[in-house]
């Protein structure tokens, strides 16, 4: 008990901080009291003119003076020309009242003259002779000490009390002016969060790494007995939406300990040194309630690498230095575990990542098929599902999605079910929600001309035909020419038959480029034109080809040579060039060569499949939305209606947009589609296309 009291008075610096606060409040109070006295004096002297005593006597003799207020140290007088009519008659007390009112209104000049050191015996007879009214104000006798108390001491004491009260209320303690040094960390108890590992799915490897931290919080002696040093912190890294914050809360919930949560931006203020003060305050509060979890979200805000661009007084650098010192100083045997999350681990300072500070680095990556399935099961626990729901098929369709995407998909499906008057979510709701996320809602009021529909149909079937004819591609699941709100006039969805890793062969990448080029190839071969609808396709194809040359070592010219490096891998920030300008120009030539090769492949595929394409396009123009099985049946000369009946429900809407396997035709607003058409086609453009049929919900 005594040690805690000593630490409270000495170790934590509360004593000096309290003294500094009191001294600062007193100084501010003195300044404010003197300022207000000076201000009141200036206001009271407004409209006052000081004259010599001789001039005062002369004005009396010239009958210019109307009234004189006489005190021990000054004579205040007013001229007859400034005196209002109602004040020329009456008693002296009434005159004083009238003069005061007139002074407040303005227009009356008050003259002040200092009396002579020796009393002038002739002044009073002179005032009577010239009929000047004179009087002395009634003054209560008070000592000099009493006047000092009333005018200065009491206002100063009140001001000091008010300032200290305001500082404490704003800061929640003695944390400095306005409390800017207070940590302001939110403390979550297990009963308030209610989050455990059962609420986190798809991150089994990460949970296994954190289970030991929970055991350390409960049984630290088991580890110290053998001589092991307890880890001080763990760094959670991964893409946005993968559940880093949720996982940190789950650790606190499983361990049933307090959970401190603060963002990295909360440490940074306009005042230098505030961030360091907040770091000290955070660890001090954590030590009081240990064992506990301290979680710093977006730690890259204060943990960026220190370099020459940061000055010695930089706020972020001082905050980082204090964080490093605190992590070295606190005792992990007390049960304080520091967790931090970031999307940009590559920018963190190496001193922060070394062993002894953040001892473990846990990657929270995008979930695989099994992880997506368990995540969907977690998010649908409180959702009423119909019997036809197959979450495994939905998980297969959402390759590349993170936990936040899946939670949004389930919520959109529930909203759609309520909107349609159903009391349970069925499979169509989930699939329609998936389409809503990737393409937006249907533009039911949008009407395409016959030529535009034909052009969009050939564009989309061009993608699908190249994908069907090429090896190393994913099967086509849906083709639609129904416009959607995210700018697409139609799109083609491809879905892998099984959950694949990020590993891709050179042939697979070339096939994906060729599929992206299929839309433009169909425009050129069939309609002998080009449109701006292929803009996104060209960007996707160029990005793949550039990665093949610059990063994957898949070009004949450069071979196994890295020309670029990844930037912000978890934020998809692209890459930076690590080569000379001449080499970069040669890189562009190699990329162009790959694109031309793949485009030639797509053009040749379209020419060889022209008859089959015409059958698919005719059917697509009639139905507006078809499945991949229907397209295959048309190519093989079978009845597409029978293929539709046998097609699994998920196939009509599944896709893998996150892996870049979708193709959408986009038209820039306000631009005309370039076309070369005959007179008959020209006439047909004036006819409006029929409104879209039921759209995504009836595509199966």
- Give the pLDDT score at 514: 94
Q: Report whether pLDDT(360) > 90.
A: no
- Give the pLDDT score at 415: 92
Higher pLDDT, 512 or 504: 512
- Give the pLDDT score at 660: 34
Q: Report whether pLDDT(141) > 70.
A: no
Q: Report whether pLDDT(517) > 90.
A: yes
Burial classification of residue 147, based on how many CB atoms lie within 10 Å of its CB (0-12 exposed, 13-18 middle, 19 or more buried) = exposed
- Give the pLDDT score at 200: 82
Q: CA 399: distance to chain centroid?
A: 26
- Give the pLDDT score at 410: 92
- Give the pLDDT score at 403: 86
291 preceded by a cis bond (ω within 30 of 0): yes
- Give the pLDDT score at 519: 93
Query: Rounded to 5 degrees, what are φ and ψ at 294?
Result: -110, 120
Nearest to 245 by CA among 233, 259, 255: 259
- Give the pLDDT score at 175: 42
pLDDT digits (tens, 9 = 90+) for 261-302: 877 776 765 545 567 777 887 888 888 877 788 888 888 888
H, E, C per residue of 486-547: CCEEEEEEECCCCCCCCCCCHHHHHHHHHHHHHHHHHHHHHCCCCCHHHHHHHHHHHHHHHH
- Give the pLDDT score at 254: 82
Map residue 58 onto helix, strand or coil: helix
- Give the pLDDT score at 272: 53
For residues 505 and 575, give the distance between their C-alpha atoms in angstroms, rounded to a whole number.
21
Q: What confidence category does residue 317 fall into, taking pLDDT thresholds of 50, 70 and 90?
A: confident
Across the chain, mean pLDDT equals 74
Question: 40-54, 315-329, 343-357, 591-605 — which one is most confidently predicted on average?
Answer: 591-605
Question: 45-54, 273-282, 495-504, 589-598 — which one is most confidently predicted on average?
Answer: 589-598
Higher pLDDT, 229 or 509: 509
pLDDT digits (tens, 9 = 90+) for 164-188: 777 665 544 434 444 444 545 554 4
Under 8 Å between Cβ of 509 and 544: yes
Among 446-450, 494-498, 650-654, which stretch is predicted with the lowest mean pLDDT?
650-654
- Give the pLDDT score at 9: 38
- Give the pLDDT score at 65: 82
Under 8 Å between Cβ of 423 and 386: no
- Give the pLDDT score at 665: 38
Map residue 695 onto helix, strand or coil: helix
b/e 402-431 (16+ beta carbons within 10 angstroms → b): bbebbbbbbebbbebbeeeeeeebbbbbbb
Name the residues annotated as catalytic: 460
pLDDT digits (tens, 9 = 90+) for 463-479: 999 999 988 888 888 88
Question: 9-23, 169-183, 329-343, 382-396 — which one is most confidently predicted on average?
Answer: 382-396
Q: Report whether pLDDT(432) > 70.
A: yes
Q: Report whether pLDDT(338) > 80.
A: yes
For residues 356 and 367, give the distance between their C-alpha atoms in angstroms, rounded to a whole number.
30
Under 8 Å between Cβ of 279 and 318: no
- Give the pLDDT score at 61: 84
* Cross-strand partners of 67: 78, 133
Q: Report whether pLDDT(311) > 60.
A: no
For residues 293 and 361, give the distance between their C-alpha atoms in angstroms, rounded to a whole number.
16
- Give the pLDDT score at 204: 80
Q: What confidence category does residue 676 fall into, taking pLDDT thresholds of 50, 70 and 90?
A: very low
**607 CB neighbour count, 10 Å cutoff:** 12
Tell me the average pLDDT across 501-530.
Answer: 90
Q: Report whether pLDDT(314) > 90.
A: no
Tell me the average pLDDT across 364-390.
Answer: 88
DSSP string, 351-410: HHHSTTTS-EEEE-----HHHHHHHHHHHTTTS-B-TT--HHHHHHHTTT--HHHHHHHH
Among 269-278, 317-326, 365-374, 479-488, which stretch is predicted with the lowest mean pLDDT?
269-278
Q: What confidence category does residue 687 fall into, taking pLDDT thresholds of 50, 70 and 90?
A: very low
Q: What confidence category does residue 247 fall into, taking pLDDT thresholds of 50, 70 and 90?
A: confident
- Give the pLDDT score at 431: 84
Q: Report whether pLDDT(140) > 70.
A: no
H, E, C per residue of 123-140: HHHHHHHCCCEEECCCCC
**3-state DSSP helix/strand/coil % of the chain, to nearest 5:** 55, 10, 35
Query: Rounded to 5 degrees, what are φ and ψ at 653?
Result: -135, 5
Tell me the average pLDDT across 78-96.
Answer: 59
Please state, for a pLDDT cut of 70, what percent of the chain lies above it: 71
Higher pLDDT, 442 or 257: 257
- Determine the Cα angle at 304 with ends 212 and 180, to 5°: 90
Q: Report whether pLDDT(100) > 80.
A: no
- Give the pLDDT score at 596: 94
Question: 200-209, 584-593, 677-686 — which one is most confidently predicted on average?
Answer: 584-593
How many Å is the maximal CA-CA distance in the chain? Answer: 135
- Give the pLDDT score at 538: 93
For residues 619 and 464, give the distance between their C-alpha atoms in angstroms, rounded to a whole number.
14
Question: 33-42, 51-60, 241-250, 595-604 — which one is most confidently predicted on average?
Answer: 595-604
Higher pLDDT, 417 or 273: 417
Q: Report whether pLDDT(496) > 90.
A: no
pLDDT digits (tens, 9 = 90+) for 542-579: 999 999 998 888 988 888 888 887 777 666 666 777 78
- Give the pLDDT score at 690: 36
Separation in Å, CA 673 to CA 123, 484, 489, 523, 666? 105, 18, 12, 11, 11
- Give the pLDDT score at 41: 65
């Amino acid at each position: 008990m005594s040690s805690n009291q000593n630490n409270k008075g000495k170790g934590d610096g509360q004593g000096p901080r309290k003294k500094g606060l009191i001294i600062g409040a007193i100084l501010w109070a003195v300044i404010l009291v003197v300022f207000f006295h000076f201000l009141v004096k200036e206001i009271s002297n407004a409209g006052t003119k000081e004259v010599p005593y001789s001039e005062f006597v002369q004005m009396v003799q010239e009958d210019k003076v109307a009234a004189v207020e006489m005190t021990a140290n000054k004579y205040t007088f007013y001229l007859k020309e400034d005196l209002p009519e109602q004040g020329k008659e009456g008693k002296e007390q009434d005159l004083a009242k009238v003069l005061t009112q007139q002074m407040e209104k303005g227009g009356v000049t008050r003259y002040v003259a200092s009396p002579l050191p020796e009393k002038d015996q002739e002044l009073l007879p002179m005032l009577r002779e010239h009929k000047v009214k004179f009087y002395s104000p009634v003054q209560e006798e008070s000592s000099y000490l009493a006047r000092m108390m009333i005018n200065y001491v009491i206002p100063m004491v009140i001001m000091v009390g008010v300032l200290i009260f305001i500082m404490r209320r704003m800061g929640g303690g003695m944390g400095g002016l306005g409390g800017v040094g207070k940590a302001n960390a939110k403390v979550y108890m297990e009963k308030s969060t209610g989050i455990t590992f059962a609420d986190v799915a798809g991150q089994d490897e990460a949970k296994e790494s954190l289970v030991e931290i929970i055991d350390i919080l409960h049984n630290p002696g088991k580890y110290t007995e053998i001589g092991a040093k307890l880890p001080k912190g763990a760094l959670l890294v991964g893409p946005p939406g993968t559940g880093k914050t949720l996982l940190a809360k789950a650790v606190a919930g499983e361990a049933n300990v307090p959970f401190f949560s603060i963002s990295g931006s909360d440490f940074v203020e306009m005042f230098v040194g505030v961030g360091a003060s907040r770091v000290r305050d955070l660890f001090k509060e954590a030590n009081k309630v240990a064992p506990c979890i301290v979680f710093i979200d977006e730690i890259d805000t204060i943990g960026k690498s220190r370099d020459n661009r940061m000055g010695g007084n930089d706020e972020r650098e001082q905050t980082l230095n204090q964080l490093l010192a605190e992590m070295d100083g606190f005792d992990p045997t007390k049960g304080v575990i520091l967790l931090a999350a970031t999307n940009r681990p590559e920018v963190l300072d190496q001193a922060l990542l070394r062993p002894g500070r953040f001892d473990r680095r846990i990657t929270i990556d995008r979930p695989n098929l099994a992880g997506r399935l368990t995540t969907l099961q977690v998010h649908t626990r409180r959702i009423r599902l119909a019997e036809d729901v197959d979450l495994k098929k939905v998980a297969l369709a959402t390759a590349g999605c993170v936990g936040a995407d899946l939670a949004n998909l389930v919520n959109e499906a529930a909203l759609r079910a309520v909107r349609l008057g159903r009391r349970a979510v069925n499979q169509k709701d989930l699939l329609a929600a998936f389409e809503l996320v990737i393409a937006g809602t249907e533009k039911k009021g949008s009407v395409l001309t016959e030529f535009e529909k034909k052009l969009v149909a050939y564009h989309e079937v061009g993608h699908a035909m190249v994908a069907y004819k090429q090896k190393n591609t994913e099967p086509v699941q849906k083709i639609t020419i129904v416009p959607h709100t995210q700018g697409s006039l139609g799109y083609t969805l491809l879905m892998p038959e099984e959950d694949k890793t990020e590993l891709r062969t050179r042939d697979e990448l070339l096939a994906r480029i060729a599929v992206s080029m299929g839309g433009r190839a169909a425009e050129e071969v069939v309609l002998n034109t080009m449109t701006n609808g292929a803009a996104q396709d060209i960007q996707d194809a160029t990005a793949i080809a550039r990665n093949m040359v610059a990063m994957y070592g898949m070009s004949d010219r450069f071979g196994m040579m890295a020309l670029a490096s990844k930037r912000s891998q978890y934020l998809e920030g692209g890459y930076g060039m690590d080569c000379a300008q001449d080499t970069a120009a040669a890189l562009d030539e190699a990329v162009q060569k790959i694109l031309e090769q793949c485009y030639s492949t797509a053009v040749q595929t379209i020419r060889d499949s022209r008859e089959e394409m015409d059958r698919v396009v005719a059917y697509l123009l009639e139905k507006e939305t078809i499945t991949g099985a229907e397209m295959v049946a048309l190519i093989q000369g079978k009845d597409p209606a029978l293929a539709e009946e046998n097609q699994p429900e998920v196939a009509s809407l599944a896709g893998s947009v996150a892996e870049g396997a979708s193709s959408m035709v986009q038209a820039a607003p306000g631009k005309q589609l370039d076309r070369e058409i005959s007179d008959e086609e020209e006439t047909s453009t004036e006819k409006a296309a029929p409104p879209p049929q039921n759209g995504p919900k009836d595509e199966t």
